[in-house]
Amino acid sequence: MVNNSTIVDILLDKSINQPHHTAYTFLADGETESGSCTYQELDLQARAIAVQLLTKVQPGDRALLVYPYTAGLEFIASFLGCLYAGVIAVTDYPRQHIKSLSQYQDRIADCQAAIALTTQEFAARVTGQLVANPGMALKLKALPWIESDRVNLNLAEQWQPPKINQDTLAFLQYTSGSTGQPKGVMITHGNVLHNSEVIYRSFGHHDQTKILMWLPMFHDMGLIGGVMQPLYTGLPAILMSPIALAQKPFLWLQALSKYQITTSGGPNFAYDLLCQKITDEQRASLDLSHWSVAFTGAEPVRAETLEKFAELYKPCGFKKEAFYPCYGMAEATLFITGINTADYPTITYLDKQALTEDQVVTVAPDHPNSKAAVSCGHTWLGDEIIIVDPETKVQCQSDRVGEIWAAGVGIGKGYYQKVEQTEATFQASLANNPNKTYLRTGDLGFIKDGELYITGRIKDMMILWGRNHYPQHIEETVASCHPALRPNHGAAFSVEVNGEEQLVIAHEINRTDLRQLNAEEVIGAIRLAVGEQNMANVFAVALLKTGSIPKTSSGKIQRRACQSMFLDGSLNTVAQWQQLEITQTDITDLAGQFFSD
């Protein structure tokens, strides 16, 4: 669609050809328009910030961007200002408390940041915390800060175009940390433009498209989908703070209705939230008939959620064909696969028991062992995915689950300053074809009829009594087995006991159920459900206080952190049970269940 070779070229083109078109409108509280900017205004701000940056750092240096959720427009101007200066932007989320400020030091050290940008208000807050606690965050205090909302716009006149091209690093996109320490993925201008074109084509965007995004801009989905896609296409975007959604989910739907939005979405949990928290009276006020691309990604897409949401919001004009499951990750800029927009997502029913042996066996929906799997579509514009045995590095047959490997122009250049991890993840090759390299996603799945299905992650896979178990399958079982358990706020993981993997469940309790909690009943329900539906023995259960389960900055449950906290006793539990010993009878009973077929 666009022939420009860098993100800077894109904004310069828009500032000349669409100078007075509104680029972004921001709803800081989720309702009220707190600000907007045209392409001309955005170009002016980016130029001024770039000039200010280059008084303190050099092109190629890293700049840490830390902006409160309510400062969306300021973040965008600073991000683009970094690119206008040839400086590599490093996004991070706004930590509020003194205990978490020290985590900035890890990010600063990892990316070797030379400067940081934020707002005047947030800088004052951080400075106040450091003054009150002089012994901590030495790197943070030593780092020069620019308050981007105070930069003199007259500096823009001094701006000179940077010496950059499509292969120049634009920013470091840090991974979520759901399966390990966050790592900075090196994303080039070319990566972003290719991924933006893929999203444009796959989503079927056109001149009448209107985009709404509430996901945080330091997150790959929020940055590429909510900031870069509107800029690349010249389409208007409404942006919201994720805090507004968390506090009042109805605001997302209200904005969709008010602005007649055509493209918006989020992870599966967001749709679950809208099924649980919206009243009949609120739904009656909505018009969702314009919503044609309701994308869902970043975590497993559940068929039950799609069906429930579509039925609940059908009276509001929502069309089930609008659902758009997609698959991607920070290492691939964002987007890897997606369905055709004209189709309702394909749902394939699999034999759960066969899945434990990495076999793909389709069954009828009413089969006692059926598990619904939602297609995440196919690649676009010449990109490629294959399914590979992670041990032998041989491509799998179509009836086998394996690791998803990806190749294409959108794949990042590796992890910043991590040569060994870059080689292992970004430069994998098949045993019989060492000349072509792929990105190892770490995700498990299979391809059926040309479409990708996700089944889990390699690092999360558990082997319990000789069988593979996907934690998300067990988590789904647990979440629905007792009404006191908070939906989408549980983790299943394993610990080693006497040389064997044993299953542990950690799950939050609904706030309204904490006072009169019958812990014995809930724990019993969990053990029974997991035994019957997943054929697994539960070794321990930790019932957690509401809001205490560890998550990434983008809302994913951190199973590894849960495991570590369980082992060191730091989970915020309201009740805990653990099997005192595993008897031979337990083993015999389980073996009989597992191998009776």
The whole-number pLDDT of residue 596 equals: 31
Give the pLDDT confidence of 139-169 residue by residue, as tens digits.
Answer: 566 788 999 999 999 999 999 999 999 999 9
Nearest to 148 by CA among 33, 270, 248, 66: 66
Helices first, then strands: H and E counts in the chain: 20, 27
The CATH number that domain 7-31+38-325 falls under is 3.40.50.12780
C-beta of residue 455 within 8 angstroms of C-beta of residue 445: yes
Q: What is the DSSP string of 552-594?
A: -TTS-B-HHHHHHHHHHT-S-EEEEEE-S---HHHHHHHHHHH
Share of the chain above pLDDT 90, in %: 67
Between residues 11 and 535, which one has the greater pLDDT? 11
Nearest CA to 291 among 309, 327, 265? 265
Question: What is the location of CATH 3.40.50.12780 in the chain?
Answer: 7-31+38-325
Q: Where in the chain is the domain with CATH 2.30.38.10?
A: 363-454
- pLDDT band for position 244 (cuts 50, 70, 90): confident
Q: Cα(276)–Cα(237) distance, rounded to whole angstroms?
A: 27
Phi, psi of 253 (to 5 degrees): -65, -40
The predicted-structure confidence for 305-343, as pLDDT tens digits, reads as follows 899 999 999 999 999 999 999 999 999 999 999 999 988
What is the pTM (predicted TM-score) of this model? 0.82
Q: Has residue 593 got a pLDDT over 50?
A: no
Query: Which residue type occupies 562?
Result: C
The listed range with the strongest mean pLDDT (142-146, 178-182, 228-232, 477-481) is: 228-232
What's the whole-number average pLDDT of the chain?
89
> Which of 157, 246, 209 is closest to 555 using CA atoms?
246
Give yes or no for a contact between 7 and 162, defined as CB atoms under 8 angstroms apart.
no
The torsion of the CA quartet 28, 51, 187, 413, rounded to 10 degrees, works out to -160
Beta-strand runs (E) in 97-143: 113-118
Reply yes or no on whether the pLDDT at 587 is more than 60: no
State both tokens at 136. 């901590």
Domain with CATH 3.30.300.30 in the chain: 461-595
How far is 586 from 409, CA to CA, in rounded Å?
52
Q: Which two tokens stand for residue 459?
A: 């690092």
How many angstroms separate the CA atoms of 49 and 77, rounded?
8
From 1.10.760.10, 2.60.40.10, 3.30.300.30, 3.40.640.10, which CATH number describes the 461-595 domain? 3.30.300.30
Give the CATH H-level superfamily of domain 363-454.
Luciferase; Domain 3 (2.30.38.10)
Measure CA 25 to chain center. Answer: 23
Would you state the structure tokens that stand for residue 570, as one six-digit string?
Answer: 């730091």
